[in-house]
Amino acid sequence: MSDLYRMSLAALVKGLKNKEYSVTEAVKSCLARIEATEPRLNACISVLGEQALARAAEMDAQGPPAANAAEAAPLWGVPMGLKDIISLKGCRNTCASRFMEDFVPFYDAEVTARLKKAGAVFLVKNNLDEFAMGSTTENSCFGRVGNPWDLGRVSGGSSGGSAASVVAGQVFASLGTDTGGSIRQPAAMTGCVGLKPTYGRVSRYGVVAFGSSFDQVGPLARNVEDCARVFEVIAGPDHKDAASARTDLYPDNLPEQDCLDKTLEGKGKEPGDVLKGVRIGVPEEFWGAGLDAEVEGCAMSPLKKLEEHGATLLPVSLPSQKYALAVYYIMSSAEASTNLARFDGVRYGRRARQPKDLLDLYYSSRSQGFGEEVQRRIMLGTFALSAGYYDAYYRKAAQIRRLLRNDFDRALDLASGGCHVLLAPASPKTAWTAGLYEADPLTTYKMDLLTITLNLVGLPGLCLPAGLGKETKMPVGLQIMGRPFDEAAMLRLGAVIERLTPDIGLPGALDGALDER
């Protein structure tokens, strides 16, 4: 029973409900895994062993839900993680910031509440880049996260802790947040599956804000089906998030429940049957110069297989993509600077000691509490919003954002022969050596080029492993970009790609080396 942690989430739930093993055994297996890997991996900020074991004992005493109630608890007994920017009542929510080190929320985020109701057991709060700003999970006041495939490399970011935790077998799934790629890019770099839902599809109530017109919460899991299972639980309208989308906006009124059905269809039917009539766009701007050869080669191979099995590949152009990086960093930093204004040493978190006066209280609390990258974003954002510069930067960026969305609307317009989805790599490079761009934040920003666009246009993205890079032997991620609220179709296609692509498995390091290094 000690290697239960290796199972898929779907198989684990089945066994739990059939009483082949207990929730306590599942939790203990993960805890042992955490103990073995965590000292070197550093994927967790809090480990909630006692709490989780107590919850597991309660659940075991009650027994699994009756067969007809099975749908009501689809994640019954599943050990899970949460990025440490998502509220779990009574457990500190640090945002990997000195500012929030001791902050304990008194309510659950909506996603947390939904997962609890579905039977999930929270085992860890995962490490991240401070306030979700970064692409490597090196900007954490708790230290950097190692990549389970090679501890000397970064795990991607900002949800690098969630991704590493899932891949290392500490938990069966975790939640991340994605403002510019923070779910998809770490999924790509660690070789797991990550979904950034359509803007508004998942509630952000109880999630600390970074860029409010970009942020989405989504699952990271070890395969597409597990990802769909978690997504179904967290998705859907919530009146507590003002940007939450009403179900009647979804195309064909697709209910959340369709996501798992469609995923299973992608797993069960012949690929040719699923792919018949599917038009897949290949956007030239995402495959052009700047990609490492190993990424391009590896990410391209599933596309060829899809074509062999009957899908149609179409070249697509998104001409405004060349502005995406500039637009993203202006707008997301502007929003971050206003969102972070609430951290003033008075209302939340850290307060500087013995300030000279009120202004000094603000200055000192903020300069002591925020790390370097967060301060950089605040300065950049405040500048872009300041009188005299607003029109030149923020307004201009907002206009280009509209042009980008027009590009996608054209490419994905089914009525005029457009595509069902677009496919592209998720990162121009595989996970790089830790510290490589430490003195060069601009180069790190450039690495976000392939993920930020979907947040600018509000569309969903699913990232899954395409294989291992020839040179670095590190995971390469393939990104499915979809139509608004069409996650079900993306998951269905994802499940087909998963079948047509050789399984990269779990990192070899998991067979012991990770524990010993």
Task: Point out which residues bind ligand GLN (CB under 6 A).
Answer: 132-135, 158, 177-182, 210, 332, 448
Examine residue 158 and say whether the peptide bond preceding it is cis (omega within 30 degrees of 0): yes
Q: Which of 287, 328, 335 shows the shortest CA–CA distance to 446?
A: 328
Dihedral, CA atoms, 109, 114, 118, 121, nearest 10 degrees? 0
Considering the complex, what minimum distance in angstroms separates the CB of residue 47 from ligand GLN? 23
Please list, residue by residue across 456-466, b when 16 or more beta carbons sit within 10 angstroms of its beta carbon and e when fewer do. Answer: bbbbbbbbbbb
Specify the residue, 41 or 208, whose C-beta has the smaller distance to ligand GLN: 208
Specify the residue, 134 or 369, whose C-beta has the smaller distance to ligand GLN: 134
Q: Is 486 helix (H, G, I), strand (E, B) or coil?
A: coil
Q: Is 464 helix (H, G, I), strand (E, B) or coil?
A: strand
Burial of 439 (0-12, 13-18, 19+ CB in 10 A): exposed
Considering the complex, what minimum distance in angstroms separates the CB of residue 291 from ligand GLN? 18
Specify the residue, 163 or 316, whose C-beta has the smaller distance to ligand GLN: 163
Q: Which amino acid is located at 361 in the chain?
A: L
* Two structure tokens written together for 27: 């939790």
Alpha helices for 9-48 (secondary structure H): 9-17, 23-41
Stated length of the chain: 517
CA geometry: angle at 41 spanning 450 and 375, to 5°? 55
Considering the complex, what minimum distance in angstroms separates the CB of residue 451 from ligand GLN? 7
> In angstroms, rounded to a whole number, what is the distance separating the alpha carbons of residues 49 and 44?
12
Q: Do 198 and 460 contact (CB within 8 A), yes or no?
A: yes
* Two structure tokens written together for 298: 């590896």
For 123-145, the DSSP string reads EEEE--SGGG--SSS---TT-PP
Specify the residue, 105 or 180, whose C-beta has the smaller distance to ligand GLN: 180
Specify the residue, 29 or 179, whose C-beta has the smaller distance to ligand GLN: 179
Specify the residue, 345 or 371, whose C-beta has the smaller distance to ligand GLN: 371
Phi, psi of 498 (to 5 degrees): -55, -40
Specify the residue, 174 or 263, whose C-beta has the smaller distance to ligand GLN: 174
Alpha helices for 168-257 (secondary structure H): 184-190, 224-234
CB atoms under 10 Å from CB of 510, counted, come to 20
Specify the residue, 170 or 332, whose C-beta has the smaller distance to ligand GLN: 332
Considering the complex, what minimum distance in angstroms separates the CB of residue 170 from ligand GLN? 21
Residue 238, CA distances (Å) to 48, 111, 393 in order: 28, 10, 33
Beta bridge partners of 422: 281, 481
Q: Do 72 and 45 contact (CB within 8 A), yes or no?
A: no
Examine residue 416 and say whether the peptide bond preceding it is cis (omega within 30 degrees of 0): no
Specify the residue, 179 or 339, whose C-beta has the smaller distance to ligand GLN: 179
Considering the complex, what minimum distance in angstroms separates the CB of residue 374 from ligand GLN? 10
Name the active-site residue from 182, 203, 244, 332.
Answer: 182
Burial of 392 (0-12, 13-18, 19+ CB in 10 A): exposed
Axis crossing angle, helix 396-411 with helix 324-339, rounded to the nearest 10:
120
Q: Do 107 and 87 contact (CB within 8 A), yes or no?
A: yes
Residue 158 annotated among the catalytic residues of the structure? yes
Residue 182 annotated among the catalytic residues of the structure? yes
Name the active-site residue from 17, 28, 83, 429.
Answer: 83
Give catalytic residue positions: 83, 158, 182
